[in-house]
Amino acid sequence: MAITATNIAPNMVRSVNPATGDLIRELQCASDRDIYAAVSNARSAQAKWASLGLRDRIAILHEFQNLLHKRKSAVAEAITRETGKPFAEALTTEVLVVLDSARFLIENAFRLLSDEPVPHGNIAAKLKRGRLLREPYGVIGIIAPWNYPFSIPATESLAALVAGNAVLLKPSEFTSLVALELQSLLHAAGVPAGIFQVVVGDGATGAALVHSQIDKLIFTGSVQTGKRIAAAAAPRLLPVVLELGGKDPMLVLDDADVDVASSGAVWGAFMNAGQTCLSVERCYAHRNLYEKFLQACVAKTRTLRVGNGMDPATDFGPMIHERQLRLVESHVEDAVSRGARLLIGGRRLPELGQNFYQPAVLADVNHEMRIMREETFGPVLPVMPFDTDEEVIALANDSEYGLAASIWTRNKEHGEKMARRIHAGTVMVNDVVSCFGISEAPHGGVKSSGLGRTHGRFGLEEMVKLKYVDSDLMPAMKKVWWYGYGASFALHMQGFIDFQFASNWREQLRGVLASAGVLRSKRL
């Protein structure tokens, strides 16, 4: 059915197919009371979940992986219906990513979460044994976006769950059904109902979750919302992980393979209709190959088949809603008004539906234009020429964002050397976006792109509190650094320090002799 102002119930969110405009389902928003009850239920269940043991939790993840594999097509179809992305992209960028994330945790969680011995280098501490413990936070809240409604919350949830936490997931109001699909799979795999809960709702629901008694929050979304969440979390020092998007640069050096780089640029800019935080949001091509690169990008863009994501022939689906489409239009219009050349696309496709937009390639852009400064989050590839490595590094770093970047060159060593100078959480050489699908690699950025990391070892570390436990092997012996200082003790300590840290052996030997009477100096 078509959505109108008169047939939307209050306190409800709508799941709408962006390709057709049809209403899939309406769902009731969770109230503040619902959120607080869910947190209470999660806290009551979490202790038993943590005591289940790591091996048993890993076994449940394995069962989840098996169930998801069996339902891969059904899950991908659900994703396509709510997001509009091509079915093939739902499989590769969502289902495959989650299956591999489960694989990583199944293979590595026991090693990464087990108690870790801590060696003691200080001679004074040699009669102690220390261990590092990783303990669950308790209840972790996750606020997930609509652009990757399965892979983003699932990878974060699996890490939180295997570490022994309970999870409350608040999905985007545009993609609630995908989140409920994830919940169904986890519960079927053996995750208790109180341990993983989906709370459906809009911004007010997310705010209630932030202000509830959760123990940590993982948020993916805009910089503006991320800053508000950080401010709300500050009074009680609620730990947060914030992934706040990017303006990712693509650097095409003068020795790049134009055919390969242009294919990477077109896919990196337009996959998921450009609605990807790791998307190629700005491209810099060396002047020696600039026009050739532009021609290749335009030719390849012209071949893209735009349509409903359920059609196997579709390369490029609709945008999520008209509001996002209007933002993209405003960026393109601003660029053209300031002298950019629109080489292809940049117009609506109403014959396909209200959310369809023809992917655009812009030439001769510069940093005075919004398209090169603000996150566009849409299917536009803006390309700017450069002359030197120094110039392009300065351009790449001239942004408030720092999520990811890519460098394209036939010289791997040169590319990796330049990568060290780019201000970003990830830099890929001769590829783009796929870093998100590498389960071992951390995902996250610097500057306004956020705080903390998800995925891999460092993402798993975000889901635990560190506790250090130290046991003394000589419990009946008083410690030499306890009270009973005095002049002689200070002399002994000077000698002990010389013994450990003096630069020559004679001074070290004198230090041994000077510290020998330290035990006799104790009064207490």
Residue 149 contacts by C-beta under 8 Å, 6 or more apart in sequence? 79, 82, 83, 94, 171, 172, 174, 175, 178, 179
Among this protein's residues, is 351 annotated catalytic? Answer: no
CA separation for the pair 113, 103 (Å, rounded): 16
Task: For helices 290-302 and 258-270, give the axis angle rounded to 10 degrees.
Answer: 50
Q: How many beta carbons lie within 10 A of that of residue 367, not counting itself?
A: 12
DSSP H/E element including 342: strand 341-344
| Exposure on the CB side of residue 491, measured as CA atoms within 13 A | 10
CB 389 within 8 A of CB 420: no
Beta bridge partners of 168: 141, 197
The catalytic residue among 89, 94, 173, 243 is: 243
CB 349 within 8 A of CB 318: no
CB 297 within 8 A of CB 252: no
Task: For helices 176-189 and 72-83, give the axis angle rounded to 10 degrees.
Answer: 160
CA separation for the pair 443, 151 (Å, rounded): 13
> Could you tell me the CA-to-CA distances from 122 to 119, 130, 485, 500, 501 in Å, in that order?
9, 13, 20, 8, 10
Among this protein's residues, is 243 annotated catalytic? Answer: yes
Can you read off the two tokens belonging to residue 505?
């052996």
CA separation for the pair 163, 161 (Å, rounded): 5
The catalytic residue among 89, 173, 277, 297 is: 277
Q: Is 128 helix (H, G, I), strand (E, B) or coil?
A: strand
DSSP H/E element including 156: helix 151-162
> Could you tell me the CA-to-CA distances from 25 to 170, 177, 321 in Å, in that order?
17, 8, 16
The span from the first CA to the last CA of the chain, in angstroms, equals 84
Bridging pattern class, strands 240-243 and 216-220: parallel
14, with CB counted inside 10 A (0-12, 13-18, 19+), is middle
Residue 457, phi-psi category: left (phi > 0), alpha (psi -120 to 50), beta (remainder): alpha
Can you read off the two tokens belonging to residue 404?
């990811």
DSSP 162: H
CB 24 within 8 A of CB 174: no
Catalytic residues: 243, 277
